[in-house]
Amino acid sequence: MWARSVIKLTKYSSKTLVTAGFTTMLLLLTLFVALWINNLSDNKQIVLQLNNEQNNSRSLLTLYYMLNEQQRLLEQIPINEDLAEKQRLFIEYKRLLGLMDTIELTSDNVHIYYDVRETQLAVKNFVNEQTEITGPANLMIGNGYFETAYDEFVVAASPGVALFKNKISSLVDYDLLAETNKEISSVVSRSEQNYRSSYFLMAFMGSFGLALGIFTIFVVRSTGRAEDAVLEQGKRIRSLHEIIARPDLTFDEQIDETLRLGCKLLGTEIGKLGRQDPENNASEFLNTIVMSDLPAKRGIVLPLDKTFCQVTFNSPETIAISHVAESEYKDHPAASFLGMQSYIGCSINVHGKKFGTVNFSNRTPVKRPFTEADQDLVNLMGSWISVMMERQLDAEELKKSKESADAANQAKSEFLANMSHEIRTPLTAILGYSDMLRDFDQSQEDVEHEVDSIIRSGSHLQRIINDILDLSKIEAGQLVIEQIDVQPAPILHDVESIFGARARDKGVDFKIEYDYPVPRLIQSDPTRLKQIIFNLCGNAIKFTEKGKITVKMGYLEDQQMLKFQVIDTGIGMNEEEMSRLFTPFSQADTSTTRKYGGTGLGLCISRELSQKLGGEISVNSEKGKGTTFEFTVSVGDCEDLQLAYGTDEFVVKNDDEGTSIVKNSLAGHVLVVEDSPDNQDLITKYLIKAGATCEVVDNGLMALQKAMTSEYDLIIMDVQMPIMDGLTATKKMRAEGYQGPIAILTANALKEDKDKCLKAGANNYLTKPIVVPKFYAVLKEHLAPADSSGKSSAVA
């Protein structure tokens, strides 16, 4: 009985002991796993934190270098005397300011000694403050206050840059950048110790539960591999950052190094950045790295639909094919066309638009399948290349804009120098011969020569000013085009009258030709049409020393266009000279300007006018053999367009009102309202010569008082005057019942100025300088002929 009890007790104790031991082992294992998982989590957190801290330190260091460069630019601007260099420094400062706004700091899962979000906000506040400073500077520069703008900008911007630079410098962890490898090595060492401890414990507990031990080892090994992957990806990212941070590499070299790193890490023989063009089914090689003898180089273009790049370009995600023959892409045309058996790539966007792909490929399957980490790495490379390409394109665009601005400034500087010459030349003749007229010992022939020279130089000066004003109106969008009935033939008759004589005086033949049939009447702007032809004919005579000049007119019935050609046998031009013809402020070359003179605005204005008249202008020339200018204008909405088949079918109307006032031909009393003493005297002499009497006042208020208390056959009214301007005076006269004729004589020569004058109540509109025939025509309209008795019989 006792023995049986002892045996039973022994069996019970053994069972209890085994159960207790197994339970103890399970508890220990559970505790170990918990500690192990916690340790792994800590290690992973350390790796992530180190990576994020390193990224933030690099971003802060980049920001510091930008601020240092901005400080240097601010120091250079005041001491540099060249405005163009000041402008370049100012533009570079704004570019760096724009780049600052793209720098981002990481705040997730990071415990740093400073507030990341507060620092990011400080960067944005700094950029906003500096942008508010550059804004007024831009406005002042645009208004021409260059020196003041740059000085005030430097004074306003410098304190903020210095203060913010010191703040950022204090945040950069230089030790972290230098000691990152040591920290990561420490994490790896701790992980290895954990591995050894876990293996020992597993061996110890293996005798108690092989199945549970194997399962536990499997869990531990899987977790260890995950941590290895995290560490490995961190090293990859660090390698990529080291390439990006190298200042000694150009943009292309950075891309090449990135592709080379990708080939090494992914185990492929080709790395490529390509541009894809779906519309033309083209895939172009840009940057390429080939780790073998494959003929892959920049400039190669392949059919897009026969490459895996087509799949990548159209996919929002990274494409990874470890073994093409065993994948869903085994029947894709690229599999047979290129013979690649492994491929990984992603698309890249530039300024929000699909640009191309970055990809890595191999002729054989890769030794290990592509992982999610591999796809993340390729996607990171693509994102970086996208950003760098955008910055590169922005830099190139800025460079082109600067070069264009420099060229424009140079052209304008040359233009101003040329204008100084062109304006001073006729002024010299005007002032010089005017002074000679004071010499009363001259012969009548000398006096007539001096007067003719003054008139000729004045007309030349007026043409220069008109060209400048026309260009200003074109650039301001204020050039108004009329659409009225126009007879083309009389315009060419005027061309023959004016330029034929000038050409023949030079020994050059000049003729007008018609390519019949041509319209008798079109709808266009006669003044602007004549201006184009006059510009082209003037140039033809200027640059033709011998031979002939031909002006042709024809009708393009299918296009409803009137075509003009001005053909000369002059000096001609080459392709490079022709490319500059229609650019403002420029001629074929500077030697042309020196030899022949001119503003360099005529052809630019002619092009704008031809376009506004519904057509276009072009040039064809050969050096030494002559030039042909051709331009077209729309015939307008002419119903039942009548065509002429010969010269005898043209009606040439002579609108010439005469070139001078007929002495004592009119009678009447005129009020002259003009504030300029010289203009008062000139207008008075014109009126006295015509036979009229006149009174003169110098502001609109006095004119209003005179008009309401006296009788006048005509009031000649200036616009811009002190006390009361001419438009206000005219409106008040009409409002108070004055019915007499009022002719506005003003230097405001835009069409809208004419409309304002007529709307204010004026009967006529004349521009300064005074065109005598038009001035005399207005006098004849409102004053009575000299042989009539009493007051003027003209109707107001």
Give the DSSP per-residue string, 229-292. Answer: HHHHHHHHHHHHHHHHT-TTS-HHHHHHHHHHHHHHHHT-SEEEEEEEEGGGTEEEEEEEEESS
Please report, for the domain that includes residue 601, its CATH number. 3.30.565.10
Tell me the mean pLDDT in the region 536-561.
91
Asked if residue 735 and residue 592 are part of one domain, the reply reads no
- Domain enclosing residue 695, as ranges: 666-785
Q: Where are the alpha helices (DSSP H) in 626-764?
A: 677-690, 700-709, 726-735, 751-760
Dump pLDDT digits (tens) for 434-486: 888 888 888 888 888 888 888 877 876 777 777 777 766 666 666 778 888 88
Indicate whether 241 belongs to any domain: no
Indicate whether 335 belongs to any domain: yes
Would you state the pLDDT for residue 19? 59
Whether the per-residue pLDDT at 292 is higher than 80: the answer is no
For residue 122, the surrounding DSSP H or E stretch is helix 116-142
Say if residue 433 is exposed, middle or buried (CB neighbours under 10 Å; 0-12, 13-18, 19+): buried
Asked if residue 670 and residue 632 are part of one domain, the reply reads no
Indicate whether 432 belongs to any domain: no
Q: Give Dmax over CA atoms of the chain in angstroms.
A: 173
Asked if residue 535 and residue 627 are part of one domain, the reply reads yes
420 φ, ψ (degrees, to nearest 5): -60, -40
Nearby residues of 315 by Cβ (< 8 Å), 6 or more positions away: 347
Nearby residues of 105 by Cβ (< 8 Å), 6 or more positions away: 56, 59, 60, 116, 119, 120
Q: Considering only 113-117, 578-582, 648-652, 716-720, which range has the smallest mean pLDDT?
A: 648-652
Q: Considering only 22-36, 343-357, 685-699, which range has the smallest mean pLDDT?
A: 22-36
Please report, for the domain that includes residue 781, its CATH number. 3.40.50.2300
Dump pLDDT digits (tens) for 161-200: 888 878 887 776 655 555 544 455 555 465 556 555 555 6
Q: Which amino acid is at 179?
A: E
Q: What is the rounded average pLDDT for all residues in the chain? A: 79
Q: How is residue 145 written in tokens?
A: 């206050």
Residue 706: pLDDT band (50, 70, 90) is very high
Would you state the pLDDT for residue 70? 80
d(CA 546, CA 550): 13
Would you state the pLDDT for residue 636? 87
Indicate whether 509 belongs to any domain: yes
Pair type for strands 617-622 and 669-673: unpaired
Dump pLDDT digits (tens) for 55-98: 677 677 777 778 888 888 888 888 877 877 878 888 888 888 88
Domain count within the chain = 4
Nearby residues of 194 by Cβ (< 8 Å), 6 or more positions away: 36, 39, 40
Q: Considering only 124-138, 265-279, 554-568, 779-793, which range has the smallest mean pLDDT?
A: 779-793
- Sign of the CA dihedral running 679, 685, 687, 693: positive
Coil, strand, or helix at residue 85? Answer: helix
Indicate whether 350 belongs to any domain: yes
Residue 40: pLDDT band (50, 70, 90) is low
Q: DSSP code of 305?
A: G
Please report, for the domain that includes residue 334, its CATH number. 3.30.450.40
Nearby residues of 293 by Cβ (< 8 Å), 6 or more positions away: none
Indicate whether 58 belongs to any domain: yes
Asked if residue 529 and residue 628 are part of one domain, the reply reads yes
Angle of helix 174-206 relative to helix 2-79, nearest 10 degrees, comes to 170
The strand pairing partners of 302, in sequence order, are 283
Residue 20: pLDDT band (50, 70, 90) is low
Give the other-Cβ count within 10 Å of 471's Cβ: 19
Tell me the mean pLDDT in the region 516-545.
90
Whether the per-residue pLDDT at 317 is higher than 80: the answer is yes
Q: Considering only 324-333, 582-591, 725-734, which range has the smallest mean pLDDT?
A: 582-591
Whether the per-residue pLDDT at 235 is higher than 90: the answer is no
What region does 174 belong to: left with phi over 0, alpha with psi -120 to 50, or beta? alpha
- pLDDT above 70 coverage of the chain, percent: 76
* Contact call for residues 601 and 587 (beta carbons, < 8 A): no
Q: Of 389, 416, 438, which residue is a domain's last?
A: 389
Asked if residue 146 and residue 72 are part of one domain, the reply reads yes
Would you state the pLDDT for residue 234? 73
For residue 743, the surrounding DSSP H or E stretch is strand 742-746
Tell me the mean pLDDT in the region 358-387.
86
Query: Nearest Cα to 318, choosing from 275, 375, 362?
Result: 375
Residue 593: pLDDT band (50, 70, 90) is very low
Would you state the pLDDT for residue 13? 44
Residue 12: pLDDT band (50, 70, 90) is very low
Dump pLDDT digits (tens) for 389-430: 888 777 777 787 787 777 767 766 766 666 666 677 778 878
Q: Of 333, 368, 389, which residue is a domain's last?
A: 389
Would you state the pLDDT for residue 123? 84
d(CA 779, CA 786): 12
Tell me the mean pLDDT in the region 260-273.
86
Would you state the pLDDT for residue 659? 55
Would you state the pLDDT for residue 165? 79
Give the CA count within 13 Å in the CB-facing half-sphere of 175.
3
Q: Of 180, 199, 225, which residue is a domain's last?
A: 180
Residue 309: pLDDT band (50, 70, 90) is confident
Tell me the mean pLDDT in the region 17-40.
60
Residue 377: pLDDT band (50, 70, 90) is confident
Residue 45: pLDDT band (50, 70, 90) is low
Residue 792: pLDDT band (50, 70, 90) is very low
Asked if residue 174 and residue 40 are part of one domain, the reply reads yes
Whether the per-residue pLDDT at 11 is higher than 50: the answer is no
Angle of helix 526-542 relative to helix 488-505, nearest 10 degrees, comes to 20
The strand pairing partners of 568, in sequence order, are 549, 627
Cα 594 to chain centroid, rounded? 32
Query: Nearest Cα to 713, choosing from 661, 672, 656?
Result: 672
Say if residue 438 is exposed, middle or buried (CB neighbours under 10 Å; 0-12, 13-18, 19+): exposed
Q: Considering only 35-44, 145-154, 404-413, 610-619, which range has the smallest mean pLDDT?
A: 35-44
Q: Considering only 74-88, 217-231, 779-793, which range has the smallest mean pLDDT?
A: 217-231
Q: Considering only 16-20, 478-482, 555-559, which range has the smallest mean pLDDT?
A: 16-20
Asked if residue 169 and residue 60 are part of one domain, the reply reads yes
Would you state the pLDDT for residue 110? 47
Asked if residue 630 and residue 501 are part of one domain, the reply reads yes
Whether the per-residue pLDDT at 4 is higher than 50: the answer is no
Q: How is residue 19 written in tokens?
A: 């159960």
Asked if residue 728 and residue 642 are part of one domain, the reply reads no
Looking at the whole model, is its pTM more than 0.85?
Answer: no
Query: Nearest Cα to 60, choosing from 178, 177, 161, 169?
Result: 169
Indicate whether 630 belongs to any domain: yes
Tell me the mean pLDDT in the region 561-585.
86
Q: How is residue 115 written in tokens?
A: 């507030």
Would you state the pLDDT for residue 29? 63
Would you state the pLDDT for residue 220? 47
Whether the per-residue pLDDT at 693 is higher than 90: the answer is yes
* Contact call for residues 105 and 118 (beta carbons, < 8 A): no
d(CA 620, CA 684): 51
Asked if residue 489 and residue 617 are part of one domain, the reply reads yes
Asked if residue 284 and residue 164 are part of one domain, the reply reads no
Indicate whether 380 belongs to any domain: yes
Would you state the pLDDT for residue 22? 55
Asked if residue 272 and residue 311 are part of one domain, the reply reads yes
